[in-house]
Amino acid sequence: MKTYEYKIEGLDCAMCAQSIQKKLQQQEWVESVAVNFTISKISLSTPREDDVFDNVKEIVARVEPDATIHKINQKIDDIKRKSFWKRNWFFLSFLTGTIIGTVGILLGYLTNLKILSLVLMCIGAGLMVIKTAERAVLKAVKNHSIDENLLVTISVVGAIAIGSSMEGLMVIFLYQIGKFLEARAVEKTRKDLDSLLKVKPSTVRLQTEKGIAEVSPSTVPVGSTIVVYAGDIVALDGIIIAGSASLNMSSLTGESSPVAISEGEQVMSGSINLDGVLTIKTTSTDTDSTITKIMNLVETAAERKAKTETIVSRGARYYTPIVIFIAIFVGLMFGFVGKIGVNESIYRGMIFLVISCPCAIAISVPLSYFSGIGNASKKGILVKGSNYLDAVANLKAVVFDKTGTLTTGEFLVTKIETLDNAMSEQDVLQLASIGEQNSTHPIAKAIVSHYIEQQNKNGNVFNELTDKATSVTELAGRGLSFKLSGKNVFVGRGQSESDSTVVDVEIDNSVVGRIYLRDQIKTNAKETIAYFKNKGIESYMFTGDNKAVAKSVAAEIGIENVEAEMLPMNKFSKLEAVLDKMHKNEMCAFVGDGINDAPVLTRADIGIAMGLSGSTATIDTADVVLMNDDLKKLTTLHKLSKFTKLIVAQNLIFALGVKFLFMILGTIGITGMAWAVVADVGLTLCTIFNSIRVLKLK
């Protein structure tokens, strides 16, 4: 299966994007497809490898004649080769029609040349509506679909036919002006959103035998050496082999405070070098780099639609036919049973058509959700779909892992206890370190680190002893076992009433010593739990640590629901119990590291991983990824989700309310067609600008 991505130009209608996506989905050779109106992009998966672009191009042209596609990063030369008339005929016809129509209006007011005035207004309206009518006919004939182009064309032609040429002229004039303003507003929003995605440099300074050459990041293999000067954006993940600098990592974590970094440390792509020169050995390709992963997540998030967005999308395909049917009914009803005459009855039916154009709803809903996802990304929160952003607003319970989530995960050895007279504290520490050096768990790292610190005082014999350990086996959620000098050694979780984490050291099933460690609570943990409690959201803590430690940490943070001494499978079953308590539309989130807690992250309604840390497993498993370990971002995400849902609700209620009001006013003859157009255009612009508020939320 291969994925193709194309940029689509000239797509100024959200419903058009839905029509293109629907048509592509109907093709047998298409496995999956998403047309993102907000960033003008098509993503398509298919087993085919030939003629894909040409086939997609043909389908797009059939569904949306004004839209054109091109491959990502490919220059568009076709537009440049078009003649002046082909490039500007719409503007010229609109301008000519406006001038002729205006002359016709003036003649009607200033002279007695009524017939000439009428003819000029009809010609002016015809020139301005020709493009809209062409779109309507092409879509009806080629794609068997009808949309707002047909609604407006019927209204303009109908107004002229019943002798309301002035109304017809004003309708198409205001409609085209409105479409221009709408396109400008959408384009402005696209640029704001695009700026969030353009944090990836197009070139990288590659160190070669002949010196430094600027090349595309896509051509740089793993293990290459790149140079990053002050002001440059790091293009690829890697390890610093020379130099030191301060990095702005706001595009990754949402935090603008500079981070000092030096030789031997890892650096993520997307970071901005504020000073100094860095020489970096790359550890990722362009495809696998951190910044590419982030961009892909943000761009593809629109494919997972929220429930509200899905309902609007499904309803849109039936909307226009229903509206036309109702308009015909209104026109005929007053003509037969009313006293206003056939022409006036038809006129009111056409008012109904104009105000019914669904642009405000079709554009504002996806734009609101994508703005929310873009804003979250800017703050260092990666949301993998508008459905997850929507779900966060309905949180009723949040389950936290302890180590590395509520606590820093950076343990310190506070005490070593010997339970065998033949063993010293140093012997216990050394024995534990031989096993723990094979683990990446934070506790294991703390023990090994403490051992090395102690050995630095008396000479390091650590490396000699590690070679003697054999049959090393990691026991999930318990510890490590290995053989040393013919003896069976176990290093793992111990039982204790102490509020410290305890690691037992056993030889042949006999405990010879204990190591006590303490973990530090994260800075914003208390504030985050207090926020959720204030919002009526229950917090739980699941941990494999002993009960005394778990209760001590929970009490300090403010969590009342605690489950301790858990194995990974215990967490899954306990999460099931929490989920069973949820009522309809209530959501439960699990917050963990995204690797050890993969099963519960997947089972929860919303899986939230703390810190990207370059882990592919974290990205693949979680629904939301926090780019750093700041728990306060959870409250930021909840506020943003709530605000996004509020904006979507405002747009829907406002749009439907205004349309319904003008439908009634037009039907009973209080407002005319011109007012209907003004209301429709103004409504669309208002909902677009309201949606942008989500992107600007601090």
DSSP codes, 69-128 = EEETT----HHHHS-HHHHHHHHHHHHHHHHHHHHHHHHHHHSS-HHHHHHHHHHHHHHH
- pLDDT for 238: 92
Top mean pLDDT of 83-97, 180-194, 432-446, 462-476 is at 432-446
Token pair listed for 115: 């017939």
- pLDDT for 223: 92
Catalytic residue ranges: 401
Check which CATH number belongs to the domain holding 44 and give it: 3.30.70.100
- pLDDT for 314: 66
What residues make up the domain containing 557? Answer: 382-407+522-627
Range 224-235 average pLDDT: 91
Range 584-589 average pLDDT: 92
How many Cβ atoms from other residues are within 10 Å of residue 453's Cβ?
10
Handedness of CA 281, 287, 288, 294 (dihedral sign): positive
Top mean pLDDT of 4-8, 137-141, 352-356, 472-476 is at 4-8
- pLDDT for 337: 64
Do 514 and 554 reside in the same domain of the chain?
A: no
In a domain, 164, yes or no: no
Pair 406, 631: CB distance under 8 Å: yes
- pLDDT for 513: 94
Do 475 and 569 reside in the same domain of the chain?
A: no
Confidence band (pLDDT; 50, 70, 90) for 248?
Answer: confident
Pair 571, 600: CB distance under 8 Å: yes
In the chain, the amino acid numbered 349 is: G
pLDDT digits (tens, 9 = 90+) for 299-334: 666 566 667 766 666 666 677 778 778 877 877 777
Range of weakest confidence among 44-58, 244-258, 262-276: 244-258
Instruction: Look at residue 497 and tell me whether its pLDDT is greater than 70.
Output: no
- pLDDT for 85: 54
Q: In angstroms, how far is CA 696 from the centroid of its own chain?
A: 15
In a domain, 127, yes or no: no
Token pair listed for 518: 């303490």
Check which CATH number belongs to the domain holding 453 and give it: 3.40.1110.10
Range of weakest confidence among 52-56, 388-392, 475-479: 475-479
Do 12 and 66 reside in the same domain of the chain?
A: yes
Check which CATH number belongs to the domain holding 573 and give it: 3.40.50.1000
In a domain, 352, yes or no: no
Choosing from 627, 654, 680, the residue where a domain stops is 627
Instruction: Look at residue 8 and tell me whether its pLDDT is greater than 50.
Output: yes
Do 397 and 526 reside in the same domain of the chain?
A: yes
Do 441 and 586 reside in the same domain of the chain?
A: no
Do 490 and 451 reside in the same domain of the chain?
A: yes
- pLDDT for 539: 96
Choosing from 244, 262, 284, the residue where a domain stops is 284
In a domain, 572, yes or no: yes
How far is residue 693's CA from residue 691's CA, in Å, rounded to a whole number? 5
Instruction: Look at residue 155 and tell me whether its pLDDT is greater than 50.
Output: yes
Range of weakest confidence among 87-91, 264-268, 277-281, 303-307: 303-307
In a domain, 599, yes or no: yes
Instruction: Look at residue 614 and tell me whether its pLDDT is greater than 50.
Output: no
Range 234-241 average pLDDT: 92
pLDDT digits (tens, 9 = 90+) for 87-116: 567 788 888 999 998 998 888 888 888 888
Do 394 and 447 reside in the same domain of the chain?
A: no
In a domain, 316, yes or no: no
Nearest 5 degrees, angle CA 172-CA 174-CA 180? 100
Range 246-270 average pLDDT: 78
- pLDDT for 528: 95
- pLDDT for 550: 87
Pair 264, 240: CB distance under 8 Å: yes
Higher local confidence (pLDDT), 300 or 406: 406
How far is residue 656's CA from residue 163's CA, in Å, rounded to a whole number? 31
- pLDDT for 79: 44
Average pLDDT, the chain: 82
Do 75 and 35 reside in the same domain of the chain?
A: yes
In a domain, 226, yes or no: yes
- pLDDT for 250: 67
Longest pairwise C-alpha distance within the chain: 121
Pair 204, 217: CB distance under 8 Å: yes
Confidence band (pLDDT; 50, 70, 90) for 417?
Answer: very high
Range 647-659 average pLDDT: 91
pLDDT digits (tens, 9 = 90+) for 513-527: 999 988 888 889 999
Token pair listed for 17: 């994007």
Instruction: Look at residue 41 and tell me whether its pLDDT is greater than 90.
Output: no
- pLDDT for 605: 93
- pLDDT for 83: 47
Top mean pLDDT of 99-113, 173-187, 214-228, 672-686 is at 214-228
Range 458-479 average pLDDT: 67
Range 206-235 average pLDDT: 90
Pair 649, 149: CB distance under 8 Å: no
How far is residue 446's CA from residue 433's CA, in Å, rounded to a whole number? 9
- pLDDT for 282: 94
Instruction: Look at residue 86 and tell me whether its pLDDT is greater than 60.
Output: no
Instruction: Look at residue 618 and tell me whether its pLDDT is greater than 80.
Output: no
Higher local confidence (pLDDT), 268 or 194: 268
Range 433-443 average pLDDT: 81
Check which CATH number belongs to the domain holding 263 and give it: 2.70.150.10
Do 440 and 581 reside in the same domain of the chain?
A: no
Domain tally for the chain? 4
Instruction: Look at residue 547 and tell me whether its pLDDT is greater than 70.
Output: yes
Choosing from 518, 537, 572, the residue where a domain stops is 518
Do 390 and 420 reside in the same domain of the chain?
A: no
Instruction: Look at residue 663 and tell me whether its pLDDT is greater than 50.
Output: yes
Do 447 and 527 reside in the same domain of the chain?
A: no
Do 491 and 560 reside in the same domain of the chain?
A: no
Token pair listed for 663: 């439908």
Range 20-31 average pLDDT: 88
In a domain, 96, yes or no: no
